[in-house]
Amino acid sequence: MSTPATETPEGALRVAHFSDTHVLSLDGVQIKDFLNKRLTGAVNLALNRSKHYRVEVFEQLLDAVVASEPDHALCTGDLVNLALAPEFERVRELLEARFEADELTLVPGNHDYYTKEAALAGCFEESFAQYLPHQLAEPARGSYPVSRVLSNESGERAVVIGLSTAIPTASFMATGEVGEAQLNEAQRLLTHEGAEGAFTLLMLHHPLFPEPKRRLDATRRLLDADRLIAMLDQVASTPDLIIHGHNHEFKRMALPETQAPVIQVGSASRAGSKRAEFHIYVIYEGALLRVERHIHEPETGRFIACNEAGEPLGG
């Protein structure tokens, strides 16, 4: 369960955001399934990831998200670990037990496209098709961008546009790319008549900005981030909020020209010194009123509502 946050104005939209769950499942997996990039991934799992990313923490987070009663929930990818069939099946079961099709919107991360075979087979899209809507417009090709229109009885409106930055990469690489087609489609959606007057939220997996202090950052970047940033700063209807995951820690940034907030969320299944978290974005009168960080308390399994500095909010 999540503790209560500060009072939310009547009529506000509350949108939850989680990312980077990295669910692992090896049920029925065979040796041949590892004769590719998964071999290095399995070594990383044994030495590192399996100690830090726990499915039971993710389940606690999902229950806390539901208990917080958001108007909608968003996930910015890396739902699975090695893009194995039993991983997709396990995550689908966890999500379908808690979210109807109109309650959750997803985009993939690099781990969801961990191998070229999984990406080409559309494993992510087949598993989570009900959470990949196109309510503003169908893309000219492929499944992305996704789009969702949110509203409530008070007339508060928000439009969610979700880009896929997931691409298959070589071993030891975790880069992403939007691509020319999605850039054009995103620009079209941002100026779509259905988005006029609404709070606009853009979601993707990879960060827009580099993290030079992060080890091997060049192997994890969004390859065409500069082109995306330039488009977002120049488009007539710039997003009001951009959200992403990938780096497994909270960070607030801003677009260079418009200063639109760019919010990075921590991992949804992290155990240890970097604790799991999800966010609630409170949207009121067409603006971002507040960012709530709901941070895992390992001793109780609860998620504590905090401000951006990680300080608990009053009940």
49-72, pLDDT tens digit by residue? 556 788 999 999 999 999 999 999
Query: Tokens 């007057």 belong to which residue?
Result: 197
Give the span between the Cα atoms of 265 and 204, in whole angstroms: 11
Q: For 90-104, what is the mean pLDDT?
A: 98
According to the model, what pLDDT value does residue 26 have? 63
According to the model, what pLDDT value does residue 140 have? 86
Kindly report the number of other CB atoms within 10 A of residue 214's CB atom.
Answer: 14
- What's the whole-number average pLDDT of the chain? 90
Which of 216, 127, 118 shows the shortest CA–CA distance to 166?
Answer: 118
What are 104's strand-pairing partners? 73
Instruction: Identify the helix (H) or strand (E) that includes residue 291.
Output: strand 287-297
According to the model, what pLDDT value does residue 5 have? 54
Residue 236 Cα distances to 79, 129, 190, angstroms:
33, 31, 8
E strands, 6-142, in order: 13-18, 72-75, 104-106
Report the percent of the chain where pLDDT is more than 90.
76
Query: For 130-148, how does the pLDDT look when each residue is reduced to its tens digit (9 = 90+)?
Result: 999 999 999 988 899 999 9
Query: For 15-36, how does the pLDDT look when each residue is reduced to its tens digit (9 = 90+)?
Result: 999 999 999 876 655 555 555 5
Query: For 71-88, how does the pLDDT look when each residue is reduced to its tens digit (9 = 90+)?
Result: 999 999 999 998 899 999
Give me 279's structure tokens.
């966010």
Q: For 196-217, what is the mean pLDDT?
A: 92
User: What residue type is 91 in one-letter code?
Assistant: V
| pLDDT higher than threshold 80 for residue 302 | yes
pTM above 0.75, yes or no: yes
Q: For 279-306, what is the mean pLDDT?
A: 97
Identify the CATH assignment for 13-306 out of 3.20.20.105, 3.30.470.160, 3.10.20.600, 3.60.21.10.
Answer: 3.60.21.10
> Judging by beta carbons within 10 Å of its beta carbon (0-12, 13-18, 19+), is residue 206 exposed, middle or buried?
buried
